[in-house]
Structure 1
Amino acid sequence: MWKAERKWKKFKSPLEFPLEAKYRPVLESLLPIEPINRFNLKRGSPEEEFPCLRDNHTHMGRILTLPLYTRQFNRATESGVIFDDIIRPGLEEPGNLCTASGHMSVGCLAGDAQSYILFCDFFDRVIKAYHDYTISTGIQESDFNSGNLKGGDVFDHEYAVNCEITMARCVEDFCFPMHCSRGERRKLLSIAEKALAELSEEYPGKLYFMEELSEDPDGRGLGSMAPSSAMCRIGMARDWPDARAVWVSEDGQLVVWVNFEDHLKLECSRTDANLQLAFDCICVNIVKLETLYRGLRRCFVWKERLGWVVSSPAQVGTGLQASVTVRLQHLPNHKRLENILDRLRLHMTATDKPGLYRVTNTPTIGFTEVGVVQLVVDGVKLLIRMEKRLESDGGLEDLVPTHKLSGYTDKL
């Protein structure tokens, strides 16, 4: 800054030329350099670089056009994320028109939190398409009071087999796993070690480093874990297993994944399908971890319009996925199933066991954490009622919701 001021002192106002015309080059030279101009990318024009989207069955592939691509083309975040990085996951994994769940993937990932701001023209469209939610000036609300959930512990256990809740978080001022450096990843692991060590004082557990798990006889079967092929292709599994770890509670109820798809992911699984207790566990411990991270002067990424910001636009808002495995024989073959799931804001995938299906929430934004789980609770109960109706050769018309559910105040 001092050098710039000295440079300005050499100039005197000219008499023969307008100031703007003569000094524009000097003024422009003093402006901060745009991040994209710091790279010497060997690229052609947007027309030459536009990807082939034929047979691409992702939301990215459906949304991306040459004009939209051109608008993002010369942008880069401060950490160096360019638009081609953002859409690479959908090019590596183009999806399948006939998926088992009929559910289309987003086909993109953010490289850092700034990606959602700089490339908002694109990400807002993806969020609208995937979540049926329009980003506005409103504030995404949170609710970790699990006592507000209704009926999560009263499933018919002849049909509801087990359940799982996951919640993802990313840490401010660090790139997301697809783009972070080794140093960043190791620093994130160091922070997680400290926070999880403090958590273990209240909720006993042990942190397992992926490098050591294969040699650890007490590794609880986690040593055989390997990154998915998709994680490898998009760079999320670089340097595997360096700086990846898993914390497991002594009671086996809670698992915390460090530096996998996101910086942190909490997972609570239960074999009794008691979604209420799983949600209690997740809410209590995510609040504890947020407090511990703040004590280490680190915060989870939060944006008013987006809520909790994570790598995938499929999980922004709450970062929460709730699922119940349900035993269904008749409903999966019903002609209106896709329409029913769409109105319930759920999607359903077959498991590797015949007759068992995993039912999961579609939206993660536009609802509170309680609202997301309530969608699954109410939806699963309705699906079970429909299955029972079909078992007795009854019809479903009076059970099908007339519109998409808009929140946990909807009554089924």
Structure 2
Amino acid sequence: MPFGNTHNNFKLNYKVEEEFPDLSKHNNHMAKVLTKEIYGKLRDKQTPSGYTLDDVIQTGVDNPGHPFIMTVGCVAGDEESYTVFKDLLDPIISDRHGGYKPDDKHKTDLNFENLKGGDDLDPNYVLSSRVRTGRSIKGFTLPPHNSRGERRLIEKLSVEALTSLDGEFKGNPSPPFWSSCSSTFRHNDNKTFLVWVNEEDHLRVISMQQGGNMREVFRRFCVGLTKIEDIFKKHNHGFMWNEHLGYILTCPSNLGTGLRGGVHVKLPKLSTHAKFEEILTRLRLQKRGTGGVDTASVGGVFDISNADRLGSSEVAQVQLVVDGVKLMVEMEKKLEKGEAIDSMIPSQK
């Protein structure tokens, strides 16, 4: 049974109109979806751990949005948030993930053998390759709602799991950065496999290396993730997953695979082509500067990654990156020779 949430019950002394947030200057998915009707229907509900509607939306109320990027504007506090507050979260998920419906089924595929190619991206253009994801551990609330005791136990289990890895995954965890938060960062000896503990998600897992061998990066990613989950399962704490939403993570934008597979790639000619943005859209890819979301390209180098998270598998999403980047490098070489690329522009995937 949920414990009593006295503060949330106190809010019910006030009318919906008096409690409804002012979202008139907001640009995020939550503000777009939330109505007084939805607020009135959900505001007295809470998950078994006591997470409420106002907890869900607070980040989007506090942060009106980004001038160029449609942010999500809400976070889950536990696995049950996606069920208890589905009247709000289902439309947000649909809006953010291209019309993904409440009865759609997600595909999971972490068999790296199913990836075609990926070991032949031209290293003269593809400077580095990286695959990351998040994971939530069953039986705990999510980081926006964690207690200190939960964070410390998550860290303890994670350190135990990570220090038991051997072979290419062998390494040492660093001490907590903030003792009150119990955050841990750990990498293997080669610094090609990294794990953050208790950041935005319980675990953030990253595989990366210099050059264009995305196949090797993805293989290490899949094998490492499987090894980590097997250790957690021995403690009866597998990863949160269901057939509708795939892997459950804190931000609805990361549901499904939670995967961002990206490469730093030199495209000085193609990036100034009139159809560069259209090509990315058709390939279901997105670009960032090499320093992150808000950074500009330096010397025509971009961070190119998959745009999708929910509804297609890990293999499918990395395959889009591999195939799309390979095509764009071929376009770049054509443009260097002064040749046209019109015939190479793909149809929408």
State the TM-score, normalizing by the size of structure 1.
Answer: 0.76
* Shift in alpha-carbon separation, 1:354–1:41, aligned structure 2, 3 A: farther
Q: Rg larger in 1 or in 2?
A: 1
Residue 141 (structure 2) aligned to one of 175, 196, 207:
175
* Shift in alpha-carbon separation, 1:183–1:158, aligned structure 2, 3 A: same
* Shift in alpha-carbon separation, 1:326–1:41, aligned structure 2, 3 A: farther
For each residue in 1:244-286, what CA deviation from the matched residue of structure 2 results, as whole angstroms up to 9, or x when unmatched?
1112111211111111111111111211131111101110011
Please give the alpha-carbon distance, in whole angstroms, between the structure 1 residues aligned to 2:329 and 2:153.
46
Asked whether the 8 Å contact 1:322–1:360 carries over to 2, the reply is yes
Q: Which runs of 5+ in 2 are unaligned?
A: 292-297
* Shift in alpha-carbon separation, 1:344–1:199, aligned structure 2, 3 A: same
- The answer for the alignment partner of 1:269 in structure 2 is 208
Deviation at 1:121, TM superposition (A): 2.0
* Shift in alpha-carbon separation, 1:74–1:369, aligned structure 2, 3 A: same
Residue 332 (structure 1) aligned to one of 244, 259, 271:
271
Deviation at 1:36, TM superposition (A): 5.7
Deviation at 1:79, TM superposition (A): 0.9
Asked whether the 8 Å contact 2:134–2:258 carries over to 1, the reply is yes
Residue 383 (structure 1) aligned to one of 323, 328, 339:
328
SS at match of 2:244: coil
Look up the equivalent residue of 2:186 and give its one-letter code.
Answer: W
* Shift in alpha-carbon separation, 1:39–1:87, aligned structure 2, 3 A: closer
Give 1:91-102 correspondences, 5 Å limit.
91-98=61-68
- The answer for the alignment partner of 2:295 in structure 1 is none
Please give the alpha-carbon distance, in whole angstroms, between the structure 1 residues aligned to 2:232 and 2:16.
42
Percent identity of equivalent pairs = 35
Deviation at 1:298, TM superposition (A): 1.0
Asked whether the 8 Å contact 1:316–1:365 carries over to 2, the reply is yes
User: What value does the CA root-mean-square deviation take over the aligned residues?
Assistant: 2.4
Please give the alpha-carbon distance, in whole angstroms, between the structure 2 residues aligned to 1:305 and 1:136.
8
Q: How many aligned residue pairs are there? A: 342
Asked whether the 8 Å contact 1:348–1:359 carries over to 2, the reply is yes
For each residue in 1:339-397, what CA deviation from the matched residue of structure 2 results, as whole angstroms up to 9, or x when unmatched?
33222222111235332111121211111111111111122123223333444455444
Give 1:13-412 correspondences, 5 Å limit.
39-42=8-11, 44-98=14-68, 103-200=69-166, 203-211=169-177, 242-352=181-291, 353-403=298-348, 405=349
Please give the alpha-carbon distance, in whole angstroms, between the structure 1 residues aligned to 2:121 and 2:103.
38
* Shift in alpha-carbon separation, 1:288–1:360, aligned structure 2, 3 A: same
* Shift in alpha-carbon separation, 1:74–1:329, aligned structure 2, 3 A: same
Asked whether the 8 Å contact 1:361–1:376 carries over to 2, the reply is yes
State the TM-score, normalizing by the size of structure 2.
Answer: 0.89
